[in-house]
């Protein structure tokens, strides 16, 4: 029970890494506040936790909207009293070069992947300060540390997450708020298959190409959730400003 008594807010919780993290955090003793734009799937995750004996609620939210972020945090404080962990997991992908990318896609990607972290952290940090500290986990990517083909805006957004994380760690370490990010490699989620569709590639072939890394496979949402658990728990009490790579060795040979 590494998170016994902790209160966690998780965005993008309806599927993939967010869902796996919500279920894992609850099993480890956390009370969880879940948010996603997919209301039915998000509520299903909350129901799973409650039926297993945990405590949770789901709040439909578009994390690019300041009012939605404020409502989510206020509900967590109202129902649970404080926030110990904020996991800014919500994210989307658009595979394209700058020549092929529509302006609306650029704006949406930067809003979901970067602006949402600013909006939610702005709401949560004052409550963490009053409570004496907390942990913020931001979802970055291996492509926040190294570039990728036909992924200009995705790389730009995740690179921004990495440096935003480091800047926040500097600003809020004195208040005992740790800020870290996770940089996953290709992970077996609906988003990975969405990449294949955007590139016009067959799912099985795309996943086979994605598995070309030292461990010879893509990751699972549950494996990335374990990294989030570490960063949320007291096991990482001296870790802040870190970009934790969880990618089966995909970046091991990068310079």
List residues with catalytic annotation: 154
Beta-bridge mates of residue 92: none
DSSP secondary structure letter of residue 245: E
d(CA 176, CA 245): 23
CA gap 81, 188 in Å, rounded: 35
End-to-end CA distance of the chain: 38
The two tokens of residue 192 are 């990975």
Cβ atoms < 10 Å from Cβ of 82: 15
Contact 88, 121 (CB under 8 A): yes
């Amino acid at each position: 029970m590494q998170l016994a008594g902790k209160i966690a807010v998780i965005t993008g919780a309806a599927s993939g890494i967010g869902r796996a993290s919500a279920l894992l955090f609850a099993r480890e003793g956390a009370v969880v506040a879940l948010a996603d734009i997919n209301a039915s799937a998000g509520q299903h995750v909350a129901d799973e936790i409650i039926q297993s004996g945990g405590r949770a609620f789901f709040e439909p939210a578009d994390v690019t909207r300041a009012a939605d972020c404020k409502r989510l945090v206020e509900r967590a404080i109202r129902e649970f009293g404080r926030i110990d962990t904020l996991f800014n997991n919500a994210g989307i992908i658009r595979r394209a070069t700058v020549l092929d990318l529509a302006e609306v896609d650029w704006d949406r990607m930067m809003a979901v992947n970067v602006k949402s972290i600013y909006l939610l952290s702005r709401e949560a940090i004052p409550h963490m300060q009053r409570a004496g500290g907390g942990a913020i986990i931001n979802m970055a990517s291996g492509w926040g540390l190294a570039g990728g083909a036909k992924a200009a805006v995705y790389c730009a957004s995740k690179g921004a997450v990495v440096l935003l994380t480091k800047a926040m760690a500097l600003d809020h370490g004195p208040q005992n708020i740790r800020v870290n990010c996770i940089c996953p490699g290709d992970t077996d989620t609906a988003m990975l298959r969405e990449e294949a569709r955007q590139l016009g590639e067959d799912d099985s072939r795309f996943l086979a190409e994605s598995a070309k890394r030292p461990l010879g496979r893509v990751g699972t949402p549950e494996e990335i959730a374990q990294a989030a658990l570490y960063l949320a728990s007291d096991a990482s009490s001296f870790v802040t400003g870190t970009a934790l790579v969880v990618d089966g060795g995909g970046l091991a040979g990068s310079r």
